[in-house]
Amino acid sequence: MSAAEATDTHGHGHGEAEAARQKFSSITRDIAWVAEMPKPPKIWYGLLGVSLLLLGMLVVAVTHLVTTGIGVWGNNNAQGWAWDITNFVFWIGIGHAGTLISAVLYLFRQNWRTSIARSSEAMTIFAVMCAGIFPIIHTGRPWLAWWMIPHPNDMQMWPQFRSPLMWDVFAISTYATTSLLFWYMGMVPDLATFRDRSKSKIKQVIYGIFALGWRGSARQWHRYERAYLILAALSTPLVVSVHSVVSFDFATSQLPGWHTTIFPPYFVAGAIFSGFAMVMTLLVPARYLFNLKHIITDDHIEAMCKITLATGTMVGCAYAIEFFIAWYSGNEFEQFTFINRMLGPYWWAYFIMVSCNLLFPQLFWMRKFRTNPWLIVGVCILVNIGMWFERFVIIVTSLSRAFVPSGWHYFSPTKWDIMTLVGSFGLFFTLFLLFFRYLPVIAMSEVKMVAPEAHAGKDDH
Amino acid sequence: MSSLNRSPDDEAPQVVPVPEHGYWRSMADLERLEAGADVPEDALNEFAGTSADSEVSDPLSRRSFVQVMGASLALAGVAGTGCKRWEKEEIVPLSRRPEDQIPGVPQYYSTAWDFAGFGQSLVATSFEGRPIKLDGNAEHPFARGGSVLGTERHGASTVWAQASILDLYDPDRSRAATRDGGGSTVADFRAWLEAERAQLRSRAARVRVLSEASSSPTLARLRAELAQQLPGLQWVEYEAVSFDNEREGHRLAFGRPVRMLAKLDKARTIVTLDADLFVEHPAALQYSRDWARARRFERSSLGDGQMNRLYAIESTFSSTGAVADHRLPLRSEQLLPFAMALEAKLGAGGGNVDAAFLGEPEVAKHLDAIAEELLDNRGHAVVVAGRRQPAIVHALVARINAAIGAPGATLEYLAEPDSDVPASAQRPTHAQGLARLVKEIEQKQVDYLFIIGGNPVYDAPADLDFAGALAQVKASVHLSLYQDETSKKTTWHVPRAHFLEAWGDVRTFDGTHTLAQPLIQPMFGGVSAIELLQLLLGAEPDGHGAVKATFDELRPSVTWRQAIHDGFVATPVPTVAGLSVGQLPPVQLTETQRAGSRLAQGQLEVVFAPSMQLWDGRFANNAWLQETPDFLTKVTWDNYAMVGPSTAKDLGLKNDTLIKVKVGDKELEVACYTMPGQAPYSIGLVLGGGRTAAGRKGGDGKAKVGFDTGRLRTTAALDVASGATVTGTGKGHALASTQEHWDLRATLYKDVAQWGIASRLDTIVKEVPVAEARKADWRADGKAAYPLTSLWERHDYPADGPDKVRKWGMTIDLGNCTGCNACSVACQAENNVPVVGKSNVMMNREMHWIRIDRYFAGSADNPTVVHQPLGCVHCEAAPCEVVCPVGATLHTSEGLNDMIYNRCVGTRYCLNNCGYRVRRFNFFDYNKEFKEARDKVRNLLFNPEVTVRHRGVMEKCTYCVQRIQNAKIKAKNERREVLDGEVVTACQAACPTEAIVFGDLNDPKSRVSRLQKDKREYALLNNELHTSPRTHHLARVRNPNPKLVGHERSGSH
């Protein structure tokens, strides 16, 4: 795909160096403007206020949880996990798009990614932060959750490496670290730009610290490009591994509905699906809000819609295959679990899941739906709801009907469950809104690199 | 205050020496602080008082000085700070260890308990002077237990006996006397009694004693003395759940009251008419064991391999009906015509019985089959009628039993205490006695009323205005463990000593003189019934002296010391032979008795059933019992009306709603539970709820627990009432059931759950008819769908060689489980299992380490039931272990699946991965309430050998690892192997039917390893999950009558 349209420029030609410089500086100006405008739009304040309120709710909910006990949630002796792990998997899934966009698409030279890479990476980091809360607070004694990390101690106690939860600890911490590094490293040239453009002393110092002394020398650019490539290569397997490992939490257990070999690819597809949906949910309004339509163009959005459609359909296939395997296995426990999933007391959750994840994304076959921003946002929000319900269906309905009928139970969330979930959105949006205001939301250097002006005088590349 | 305070003489029994260290003292001081300053010390502080007697009086005693210092320091520490850290306690060590006391080593003392007028012999486990556990006395000649070598100290016990120890430490127990509701002391009460003594003597004919039923010989002796001292005094006995109908029936049949004791081990055919033999009956323990032994499918030390056959004809499901080979649901009132028809069929008398329901094919077939079998089994059969049935049915049953040659062979008649006195001196029935008392009060013939135990204001029949009558008495006194409904209406309330706090004696159902020694000083200054009578007599209260005097009077062949050690005096059972049934009065059947099984509104029958947990409501404040799921409904923290499914449909009554039950002019709104197998048009009302002054757990007027179903009982219809109208109200009332957490939610397709259960039930509970089980190639354990091989080498537990280990395992016999819940409560007591409360039960957070799953099969109107006790099965390839990220649950070298509470961070993954759902998570700090000053006393109950779990950790059955370790230590000290049967788990010890067997699977001769080779053995879910559980179940074998087999509906749900 050509990025020429992306910059939406007019009349330029080879050798017009002045025009190119103007073009580059307009990119810088337009993107930096988001952070430099003297006052952000009123709606930004409004959204930040709401987000902070929700964040406060999260703090209250978690404090109450930690001081009182897991019993404040609806979890019980049948459903050891419920909304807590549902939220965890949901947020981890959201975090997938970032790495995919920054690393995989980078390696595949999908240049359209540049306009959205930074913000989706940021989204990844923030989603992983939200996700990371849950494995810690869902433990009965969160103050001892660090025991899950291998550490030297005088009792020579090690964590249990056979447990998928241990694998999770490594997978998620690796993912979080790599994503953070990738995001931050990619931001260094842009931070330097911000530093240079800053008028206030405080900003200069702060951006200066984080810009790590970037001067834009050819050597620096060379090192930067190499490092970026290496990190992209490192991150690429993580796209597959993180959610595969998360799916092992379920796949390696023996519970019907969890014990399924299809889970790793199914979870990865689902994660990318939900990640892209979340990116669009955030960026489609944001490009209006901060006047970035010429940088994050309709074509970019449309490409993302296509990926959403593809991954959504994959997820739908997985739903069908699960039923086939349940029938094909001849195992009555497995068969019952899936029949119960569809027709049992949680049928409503199942139908929310199927309609949001499989049916609504099919609208993206039609171009009309891929170009209408409001429809896109609508479908993407539905996809996010559907993907949350997918995890809910997998976790809660399977646990509700385990082997022995006397242990069956119908889960009902408490207000604290709801507060924790909604509060986690507060954390996410707070971070995201702050990011939008204070950090380079689009990789200026990269956009410039793929801008046609960057290729002036070149015949090919 | 108490007889224990007296210096013991040489012959004194092995009373637990009063601990002298500071812990007790500070506890008692705490109680005092809590109770307020106006209560004098001696009313509350027994412990300080005891040591004071001997030592504080000597100011120069070094020890007393240190004690006083310690006490004041402790007090200063307690009172001075609001610090939430560990409390500062000064411990004053004993300078000389009391004889037989080794800190940390429990001691066992025999004692006894009077429950509803029938004694139970018990053994108490005591740690450093605090009793923490009760078990049956295995050496007692009645209901003996523990035939397994090395288990002598453990006998079977009832669920109530297991739970009664919680009452001892109940913080809500009455701690001081009250006068007209205001604070007072026992000393004041004694002063008042002295002041009134002249009045009492001069107006003795206007004095009444209303007592709960008691079997105590000492109480009977003192009562006779009192009658002499106060001529004209009348003694009334009342129990809300009374066995008087049987007594009256035998009076009707034989002219004198006798008890019937069936010998179920000798009977091949047992027919029960509305009788609950295995939980409700006073001889339940004996019955359970005898029935179970005569039912073992295999020949073994536990049974002779000849299966008996049990028929139950009853209205509401009883524990007996649940295990019966054939159960016929009939309304309770229909059992009279049924018994008449049965008698006629047997040719024992009576003519054609005119009742429509007898013509119904199901009933007719059962009647024919039962009559035929009884005649075939002459001398090997017995018929038992239940306590609800009117006297005439018991008389008829006596005649039937005579006709089938039962007396002397399969049953014995035992003498009642008043068997040989003239009819005029025999006591009236409980209801009659109470009715007469109320009438006398209303006629102003009573000035003084002493109420010993009981709670008549709550449980007296509703047509007697007992509370109103009580107000008319000049002075009334209530001796009670709690300040209950009655205590609030009497002039005086006197705190009663718990049976573990006082000397006493009882007679078990067969009349064996059984002694009760105290295990602890009265913690709240209570007075025992014996001591109250001594006070009435003007004597110093001396329970020990009184009980010993009774003992001496009997001139037994054993010494007092020996008798106290054994807990009983073995005496021959006073059987009454040569009884013949006289002429019975003619029977007039009512319209509804003659009707078919369908009735109209206004004709319905209401049957009152004692709660299998709360009995008549006396255990309402016992949180263990409140949270014990009913054996069939699995409902906790409530009582309810049981309505048959078809009746519920006809009348439009829904589960979990309130329904209005109207009997005569009284009506009540009560929760509805649609109970499969409840006789059509018979409503079973469970007693024991709706208390208003039980305590904080059982209803204190603010929080309501259950429904006061007793308000519908009248003297005329105490147990069965007819002419009831039942209508729905549409109001919801959620019942907290531990098993049906799931069936209340709307599904898209309503039979999904039923289909799911049906498709897996055959793999979960195994049940076969005896003919099938006797086939040579039959085995309960089915084949796995795929070969059970493992990808890796499994851990080995070698039986020989240098690495030889013990391999602990358990079997649970489904064929013998009556669902009595004794195992579950025994486990709760042994393992400090917390109580979570109704709302948490509704959220599926109950903590029981062993639960009894109940499965119905067959039609909803007459299902069969299987109970399946299930605790952690200790899988060798445990799915819980591999998923724990911190390794908090691991295997021991002996194959126990252990929980390391300290290491657990609470991810709950183990719970999710457990196929048996036996893991229990501490969602809250369930023991938090015991940190409150007032409730601290409850901490004394904790078994010090078992960790009290904190919030956020997982727990589950440990196979009573503390008992295993103790046995191993003992064996090692004695340089020998642990013997088979030496380790007895708490559930196993309590089980009245010996359904639970525990031992070493590596010992080929051990009982458990032999049982695990039995053809009935199967490992739950092993074929599906290949977990290799150490607990195996034994399939249930039914012994249906081939002539009735066509009626056994197949299919299950």
Nearest-by-CA chain A residue for B836: A71
What is the distance between the alpha carbons of residues A332 and A337, in angstroms, rounded to a whole number? 8
Q: Enumerate the β-bridge partners of residue B857.
A: B864, B1052
How would you list the strands of the sheet with B130-136, edge to edge?
B107-115, B118-127, B130-136
* CB spacing of B745 vs A162 below 8 angstroms: no
Reported as a pLDDT band with limits 50, 70 and 90, residue B90 is: low
Is the confidence at residue B414, as pLDDT, over 70?
yes
Please tell me the distance in Å from A145's CA to the nearest CA on chain B: 6
A69 at interface of B, judged by CB pairs closer than 8 A: yes
Residue labelled with tokens 């009792």: A155
B887 at interface of A, judged by CB pairs closer than 8 A: yes
Per-residue pLDDT tens for B699-742? 888 888 999 999 999 998 899 999 999 999 989 888 888 887 55
Residues of A in contact with B843 (CB under 8 A): 71, 74, 76, 412
Q: What is the ipTM of this complex?
A: 0.90
Residues of B in contact with A76 (CB under 8 A): 843-845, 923
Range B976-1004 average pLDDT:
90
Nearest-by-CA chain A residue for B852: A406
Q: What is the DSSP letter of A15?
A: T
Q: pLDDT at position A425, please?
A: 94
Residues of A in contact with B745 (CB under 8 A): 345, 410
Q: Does residue B592 contact residue B603 with C-beta atoms inside 8 Å?
A: yes
Reported as a pLDDT band with limits 50, 70 and 90, residue B26 is: very low
CA A163 to the chain's CA centroid = 25
What is the distance between the alpha carbons of residues B5 and B21, in angstroms, rounded to a whole number? 17
For the four alpha carbons of A138, A140, A143 and A146, in that order, the dihedral sign comes to: negative
Is the confidence at residue B70, as pLDDT, over 60?
no
* CB spacing of B913 vs A254 below 8 angstroms: yes
Q: Can you give the residue ranges of every domain in chain B?
A: 18-97, 244-415, 598-737, 753-774+807-1042
Nearest Cβ partner for B886 among A160, A345, A409 = A160
Give the contacts of A80 (CB within 8 A, at least 6 positions apart): A399, B908, B909, B910, B911, B912, B921
* CB spacing of B884 vs A160 below 8 angstroms: yes
Residues of B in contact with A155 (CB under 8 A): none
Please tell me the distance in Å from B616's CA to the nearest CA on chain A: 28
**Which of B84, B791, B842, B844 to mutate against chain A (most A CBs within 10 Å)?**
B844
* Averaged pLDDT of chain B: 85
Residues of B in contact with A78 (CB under 8 A): 741, 844, 917
Antiparallel, parallel or unpaired: β B897-899 and B889-891: antiparallel
Residues of B in contact with A139 (CB under 8 A): 905-907, 952
What is the distance between the alpha carbons of residues B111 and B506, in angstroms, rounded to a whole number? 10
Angle (CA) B90-B95-B101 rounded to 5° is 95
User: Per the structure block, which two tokens stand in for B397?
Assistant: 């049953």
Nearest Cβ partner for A408 among B742, B870, B951 = B742
Please tell me the distance in Å from B848's CA to the nearest CA on chain A: 11
* Averaged pLDDT of chain A: 86
B824 at interface of A, judged by CB pairs closer than 8 A: no
What is the distance between the alpha carbons of residues B679 and B862, in angstroms, rounded to a whole number? 8
* CB spacing of B885 vs A159 below 8 angstroms: yes
B795 at interface of A, judged by CB pairs closer than 8 A: no
Give me the torsion for CA of B44, B46, B48, B53, rounded to 10°. Answer: 130
What is the distance between the alpha carbons of residues B127 and B107, in angstroms, rounded to a whole number? 7
Nearest-by-CA chain A residue for B784: A331
* CB spacing of A404 vs B952 below 8 angstroms: no
What is the distance between the alpha carbons of residues B353 and B337, in angstroms, rounded to a whole number? 7
Give percent of chain B with pLDDT exceeding 90: 51
| Residue B593 backbone zone (phi > 0: left; psi -120 to 50: alpha; other: beta) | alpha
Residues of B in contact with A144 (CB under 8 A): 905
Residues of A in contact with B854 (CB under 8 A): 406
What is the distance between the alpha carbons of residues A364 and A277, in angstroms, rounded to a whole number? 12
Please tell me the distance in Å from A80's CA to the nearest CA on chain B: 5
| CA gyration radius, chain A | 23
Q: pLDDT at position B42, please?
A: 41
User: Per the structure block, which two tokens stand in for B372?
Assistant: 């035929």
Q: pLDDT at position B147, please?
A: 47
Surface of A (368-407) touching B: CB under 8 A: 399-407
User: Per the structure block, which two tokens stand in for B270?
Assistant: 């047992």
Residues of A in contact with B785 (CB under 8 A): 330-331
The CA distances from residue B243 to B184, B456, B506, in Å, are 37, 17, 17
Q: Enumerate the β-bridge partners of residue B37.
A: none
Surface of A (196-235) touching B: CB under 8 A: none
Running along chain A, 461 residues long, what does each successive block of 10 average in pLDDT?
40 56 76 77 91 96 94 92 93 84 78 80 91 92 91 86 91 90 90 89 92 90 91 86 91 91 91 89 83 80 90 92 91 90 90 92 90 90 93 93 88 93 94 89 78 58 43
What is the distance between the alpha carbons of residues B147 and B265, in angstroms, rounded to a whole number? 15
Residues of A in contact with B924 (CB under 8 A): 68-69, 71
Surface of A (81-110) touching B: CB under 8 A: 81
Q: How much is the pTM?
A: 0.87
Per-residue pLDDT tens for B174-185? 999 999 988 899
* CB spacing of A410 vs B738 below 8 angstroms: no
Per-residue pLDDT tens for B264-278? 988 999 999 999 999
B338 at interface of A, judged by CB pairs closer than 8 A: no
Residue labelled with tokens 């999770």: A168
Distance spanning both ends of chain A, measured CA to CA: 14
Please name the CATH architecture into which domain B753-774+807-1042 falls: 2-Layer Sandwich (3.30)
User: Per the structure block, which two tokens stand in for A368?
Assistant: 């009309």
Surface of B (828-847) touching A: CB under 8 A: 840, 843-846
Q: Does residue B293 contact residue B267 with C-beta atoms inside 8 Å?
A: no
Reported as a pLDDT band with limits 50, 70 and 90, residue B17 is: very low
Nearest Cβ partner for B905 among A139, A340, A347 = A139
Residues of B in contact with A138 (CB under 8 A): 907-908
* CB spacing of A76 vs B923 below 8 angstroms: yes
* CB spacing of B913 vs A345 below 8 angstroms: no
CATH hierarchy code of domain B598-737:
2.40.40.20
The backbone torsions φ and ψ at residue B451, rounded to the nearest 5 degrees and listed phi first, read -105, 115
Residues of A in contact with B760 (CB under 8 A): 332-333, 336, 403, 405
Q: Enumerate the β-bridge partners of residue B270.
A: B310, B382
Residues of B in contact with A167 (CB under 8 A): none
Nearest-by-CA chain A residue for B911: A80
3-state secondary structure of B451: strand
* CB spacing of B748 vs A342 below 8 angstroms: yes
Nearest-by-CA chain A residue for B907: A139
Reported as a pLDDT band with limits 50, 70 and 90, residue B82 is: very low
Please tell me the distance in Å from B917's CA to the nearest CA on chain A: 6
Surface of B (271-310) touching A: CB under 8 A: none
B922 at interface of A, judged by CB pairs closer than 8 A: yes
Q: pLDDT at position A138, please?
A: 93
What is the distance between the alpha carbons of residues B806 and B959, in angstroms, rounded to a whole number? 13
Nearest Cβ partner for B908 among A80, A157, A253 = A80
Per-residue pLDDT tens for B91-121? 666 777 777 778 888 888 999 999 989 999 9
Antiparallel, parallel or unpaired: β B234-237 and B207-211: parallel
Is the confidence at residue B238, as pLDDT, over 90?
yes
The CA distances from residue B687 to B344, B691, B710, B835, in Å, are 35, 10, 6, 22
* CB spacing of A336 vs B887 below 8 angstroms: no
* CB spacing of A77 vs B764 below 8 angstroms: no
CATH topology of domain B244-415: Dimethylsulfoxide Reductase; domain 2 (3.40.228)
Residue labelled with tokens 């409004």: A46
A332 at interface of B, judged by CB pairs closer than 8 A: yes
| Residue A116 backbone zone (phi > 0: left; psi -120 to 50: alpha; other: beta) | alpha
Reported as a pLDDT band with limits 50, 70 and 90, residue B30 is: very low
Size of interface A-B (CB pairs under 8 A): 203
Residues of A in contact with B855 (CB under 8 A): 405
